[in-house]
Amino acid sequence: MENKRKILFVNDEMHMGGVARVLITLMKALLKENYEVDLLVLHKEGMLLKEIPEEVTVIEGTPFFNTVDLSLQSLLKEKKMDGILSKTRLLLYMKTGLIKKKIQEERKNILHKKYDVEVAAKEGFCTIFTAYGDSAKKINWVLTDYSVKNYSSNHMKLVKQALSKIDMNIADSEQALIAYKTVFKVSNGVVIHNLMDIETIKKGMEEETEIKKSEVPNLISVARFHPQKAIMRLLIASLEATKHNLKHNLYLIGGGEEEKELKNYVKDNHMDYVYFLGYKQNPYADMKQSDLFVLSSLYEGFATVINESLITGTPVLTTDVSGAREQIVNPDCGWIVENTQEGLNRGLIHALENFEDLKKKKENLQQYHYDNEKILKQFIENL
């Protein structure tokens, strides 16, 4: 153990989502490369906690961090007084700058060894936490497009101060890195695409699917029902396609805060061809069975679900989000459409009008290869 390079990842939670999933994939890969990996979850919550490899030492944050991943608005809406007080206290520490000293104090209660590398697995608060630690090398992982959504807009001075102590910023796409450099005026950055858990995807593809073969195209989307993912845009585009007599089935895997609104829209518009399949640990058999995956997001960093779909052999129709142009690299992969409702409408109609072309793309994607080896090598060089 003494000869292994010690790495600490810091994340705020482990709920179902892209960040937690790509983090687990990276940790699995590093374990195989003989690293000693610890994971600090500041607010130890989320269904993906059970997906963490057993060789990883999971460390829980102190009660001070229990609302780090929660918004004050949501706590107020739910009238959770303990949470409101805790979040207000945390925000006060951040507004006054006292959070720097507080982090150093809390770290003494949480961490009991020195690390060669510490990685803020989610930019924002995790960046600040890592910056004011004593690990030998500090890395910030940038997984979203800050030109579209700046999660740190209320704490710009604090985050910029923290970034001055970060040795390297790793962004998951070219656009994400350019945006981060522009917003925060940093220069120490590199692009490394996300690793894919190809073994799990291929194994999952062989399990049973809820999607039946059909004479009309089967469409699928896998996402949190969150404003960022804009599933409502997909429903609107789907309804518009039916007005052009383009019949299809639409399967939605996921859940979240917008679920009731989405289901009401489907009911009100008599969209009996739309099926809500709920959350799934393994969506890959369903993705494989589908003819087209649709990503309707307003913004992303590098949407791993695009490559997951391509690995299952299913073409993708995606809005023009960060990373998409680095993923949809040839016509067989699918289409990138304008990131508007009208763009998604036109793109979906075009894809459905060309069902035979869609089938050909799916056939050609059986030869798709994702270069995990190259990506892992890039990570190791920076660690």
Contacts of 230 (CB under 8 A, 6+ apart): 296, 297, 298, 319
Contact 152, 159 (CB under 8 A): yes
Q: Is the pLDDT of residue 264 over 50?
A: yes
Q: Is the dihedral of CA 140, 145, 147, 151 positive or negative?
A: negative
Q: Are 116 and 97 in contact (CB under 8 A)?
A: no
Is the CB of residue 222 less than 8 Å from the CB of residue 283? yes
Q: Report the candidate in 194, 181, 140, 179 with the shortest Cα–Cα distance to residue 321.
A: 179
Distance CA 11, CA 211 (A): 34
Please state, in angstroms and rounded to a whole number, the distance separating the CA atoms of residues 381 and 330.
29
List helix spans (H) across 97-230. 99-110, 125-131, 156-163, 174-184, 198-205
Q: Strand order of the sheet with strand 316-319?
A: 274-278, 249-253, 218-222, 292-295, 316-319, 334-337
Distance CA 287, CA 253 (A): 10
Give the whole-angstrom CA distance, residue 351 versus residue 242. Answer: 13
What 3-state class would DSSP assign to 218? strand
Tens digit of pLDDT for each residue in 23-67? 999 999 999 999 999 999 999 999 899 999 999 999 999 999 999
Contact assessment for residue 65 and residue 49, using Cβ atoms and an 8 Å cutoff: no
The yes-or-no verdict on residue 355 having pLDDT over 70 is: yes
Residue 335 belongs to what H/E stretch? strand 334-337
Selection from 141, 87, 96 nearest residue 118 by Cα: 141
Determine the Cα–Cα distance for residues 232 and 45; give it in Å rounded to an integer: 28
Mean pLDDT rounded to a whole number for the chain: 95
What is the phi/psi pair of residue 3, to 5°?
-85, -10
How many Cβ atoms sit within 10 Å of the Cβ of residue 34? 9
Measured distance CA(372)–CA(377) in Å, rounded: 9
| Over residues 119-141, mean pLDDT | 97
Listed in sequence order, the residues at least 6 apart from 26 whose beta carbon sits closer than 8 Å to its beta carbon are 194, 195, 379
Residues 197-248: tens digit of each pLDDT: 999 999 999 999 999 899 999 999 999 999 999 999 999 999 999 999 999 9
Handedness of CA 42, 152, 318, 327 (dihedral sign): negative
Question: Reduced to 3 states, what is the DSSP secondary structure of residue 21?
Answer: helix
Which band of pLDDT confidence, cut at 50, 70 and 90, is reported for residue 159? very high
Reference 378, options 185, 168, 163; nearest CA is 168
Q: Which domains does the chain have, with CATH numbers?
A: 6-191 (3.40.50.2000), 198-367 (3.40.50.2000)
Does the structure show a pLDDT above 60 at 2?
Answer: no
As a whole number, mean pLDDT of residues 335-345 equals 98
Q: Distance between CA atoms of 229 and 224, rounded to whole angstroms?
A: 7
Secondary structure (3-state) at 350 = helix
Calculate what percentage of the chain has a pLDDT beyond 70: 99
18 pLDDT above the threshold of 50: yes
Give me the pLDDT at residue 1, please. Answer: 44
Separation between Cα atoms, residue 271 and residue 65, nearest integer Å: 43
* Residue pair 41/58 in contact by the 8 Å Cβ criterion: yes
Provide the pLDDT for residue 17. Answer: 76
Are 319 and 328 spatial neighbours (Cβ–Cβ below 8 Å)?
no
User: Do 325 and 249 form a contact (C-beta atoms < 8 A)?
Assistant: no
